[in-house]
Amino acid sequence: MVRRVSTRPRAPPGTGGATPFPPGRWRRPPMVDLPPKETQFIDWYLAVVEAADLSDKRYPVKGMNVWTRYGMRARRNLDAVLVREIEATGSEAVEFPALIPQTEFAKEKDHIKGFDAQVYWVTRGGLSELDVPLVLRPTSETAMYPIFALWVRSHQDLPLTVYQIVNTFRYETKTTRPFVRIREIHFFEEHTCQLDEAGATERVRSNLAAFAKMATAFALPYVALRRPEWDKFAGAYYSVAFDTPVGASRTLQIGSVHHYRENFSVPYGIRYEAADGSAKFAHQTTFGLSERLLGAIVAVHGDQKGAVFPSSIAPYEVVVVPIPSADAPDVPERAAAEVASRLRAAGRRVFLDEGPDRPGAKYFRWELRGVPLRLDVGRREAEAGTATAVDRYGRKGPVALASLAADVARRLEEFDRTLAERARAAFTASFARASTLDELAGSTKIRVVAWCGQEECGHRIEAALDGALLGTPEEALPIDAGPLDRCVACGRPDGLRWALAAHPL
């Protein structure tokens, strides 16, 4: 594509006009209103992803979309948070190959059963049929564990704690949606080997704590739920998943942590010699995240004007918009370039929008794209040595050039605080208890129910809601649900625990 160069005079060198960012344009969003988020959530979501230029879904393979420049900026910022938090817990990066021999893939019976229907196969190399067909990884247990068996020999090799961020592939048969249900997944996966079950349990706990920090950076409220037996990860001893509410009674799973016990280490021979000389199998855990996090950020924070990004992952934290002036043509441009330059020097991600569009058109575009803070610089500001700040929620005020970095930092903090408060309020409002099965039907809330733990009752709950029993909370309930008195399905008072039920997106 040919990049258009502005016909407008550029700021001369030495005034901060030189930009380290490509001056190229972003694709223009269509000038149409978004569908209402409240009543047409899916349509709204798809329109925002498209209009905010996060992903190009026109790639001719279902469920495989193109990451745009703007979307990549968000993804890199998001990944940086994941890397920062997981490495803070001692995990180290590795990278395994994408292809797995069928013979290795088939070793853990439940695992292969769980993924059977959704793996891509490579059966030919050039013109020859392969003797052993290769699986394109849907997840990497079966790629890593034969090698883990070589790495782990002694208790001194444990714990083994590694992660990788790679693409995985799943032949999804249902309707695909950008970031949320796709066939090529941008996947973060941590795999660990521990001395024993207690060690693995401790790693699960550590992962829950790490995820709490990540979610804070994204301002995503969530519940950590232990999935019911019938919905745990294929091959797991148990699974804890993170769900965040999006839309009426809908939830999006944004991550999961699994305790494998010895389920994989036995078939893959991940065995070590303990201090007392005995041979033992490692206990394993995994922790998985994906670009669903980005989808959740769009879904949770976005509004009728478009996306809203927390500053931690916003492609640009600040966009600077010069307001042209007929009687002083160069003045606003130079002042705006100066503002952008100073903010970059202070480490901010800044876009200087020198494009030929009118200011109003730029405002709409950057609101659609979810930039936290806009700085307008016109003749008035240029003469006063200020800029006019407007955050994504429309709060407006002057910032002085002399205290620019500090003022911008303060406004971004305030923006992030508001973003988090709004998300928290919406989160809390999305739960409600159901004391009878009748209350579940047609529910527009995520339902908190008392459950006896029996599978039959679980399925009755799912049938009544026409949704899924998400699981039992690992931590405190998000709302005060009242007394835990009797099972919502069978009415018995034994073995009770809280459970959440909703419609997974």
Partner RNA sequence: GGGACUGUGGGGUAGCUUGGUCCAUCCUUCGGGGUUCGGGACUCCGAGACGCCAGUUCAAAUCUGGCCAGUCCCA
Residue 277 CA: distances (Å) to CA of 90, 153, 268: 27, 12, 21
376 sits near RNA (criterion: CB under 7 A): yes
Residue among 330 and 474 whose Cβ is closer to RNA: 330
Residue 234 CA: distances (Å) to CA of 263, 264, 312, 339, 368: 10, 11, 34, 53, 39
Given 54, 143, 373, 390, the residue binding RNA (CB under 7 A): 390
| 212-251: contacts with RNA (CB under 7 A) | none
d(CA 383, CA 343): 19
Smallest distance from the beta carbon of 304 to RNA, in angstroms?
A: 10
28 sits near RNA (criterion: CB under 7 A): yes
Residue among 384 and 429 whose Cβ is closer to RNA: 384
d(CA 422, CA 429): 11
Residue among 21 and 59 whose Cβ is closer to RNA: 59
Whether the bond between 159 and the residue before it is cis, its omega within 30 degrees of 0, is yes
Residue among 390 and 452 whose Cβ is closer to RNA: 390
d(CA 415, CA 404): 16
62 sits near RNA (criterion: CB under 7 A): yes
In terms of DSSP H, where are the helices of 398-449?
404-428
d(CA 246, CA 301): 10
Residue 237 CA: distances (Å) to CA of 142, 454, 479: 17, 17, 28
Report DSSP state, residue 33.
P
33 sits near RNA (criterion: CB under 7 A): yes
127 sits near RNA (criterion: CB under 7 A): no
d(CA 287, CA 257): 4
Torsion sign across C-alpha atoms 83, 88, 89, 92: positive
Residue among 79 and 376 whose Cβ is closer to RNA: 376
Instruction: Report yes or no: 30 and 74 within 8 Å, Cβ to Cβ.
Output: no
Among 95-103, 229-237, 375-383, 481-489, which window interacts with RNA (CB under 7 A)? 375-383
Smallest distance from the beta carbon of 317 to RNA, in angstroms?
A: 17
Given 37, 155, 380, 459, the residue binding RNA (CB under 7 A): 380
Q: Is 442 left (phi over 0), alpha (psi -120 to 50) or beta?
A: left
| 340-359: contacts with RNA (CB under 7 A) | 356-359
Smallest distance from the beta carbon of 31 to RNA, in angstroms?
A: 4
Among 131-139, 374-382, 424-432, 445-453, which window interacts with RNA (CB under 7 A)? 374-382
388 sits near RNA (criterion: CB under 7 A): yes
Q: Which helix (H) or strand (E) holds 377?
A: strand 373-377
Among 27-35, 184-192, 235-243, 442-450, which window interacts with RNA (CB under 7 A)? 27-35
Given 41, 171, 364, 498, the residue binding RNA (CB under 7 A): 364
Torsion sign across C-alpha atoms 339, 343, 344, 349: negative
Smallest distance from the beta carbon of 254 to RNA, in angstroms?
A: 20
| 298-327: contacts with RNA (CB under 7 A) | 323-326
Smallest distance from the beta carbon of 195 to RNA, in angstroms?
A: 42
Site string for RNA, 175-194 (x = CB under 7 A): xx------------------
Pairing mode, strands 497-504 and 250-261: parallel
Number of residues that bind RNA (CB under 7 A): 38
Given 126, 127, 128, 174, the residue binding RNA (CB under 7 A): 174
Smallest distance from the beta carbon of 315 to RNA, in angstroms?
A: 17
d(CA 335, CA 401): 10
Residue among 50 and 141 whose Cβ is closer to RNA: 50
Among 25-33, 133-141, 194-202, 272-280, which window interacts with RNA (CB under 7 A)? 25-33
d(CA 145, CA 191): 9
Question: Phi and psi for 397 in degrees, rounded to 5?
Answer: 180, 160
Residue among 96 and 364 whose Cβ is closer to RNA: 364
365 sits near RNA (criterion: CB under 7 A): yes
List of residues contacting RNA (CB under 7 A): 4, 25, 28-33, 50, 58, 62, 174-176, 323-326, 332, 356-361, 363-365, 367-368, 376, 378-381, 388, 390, 394
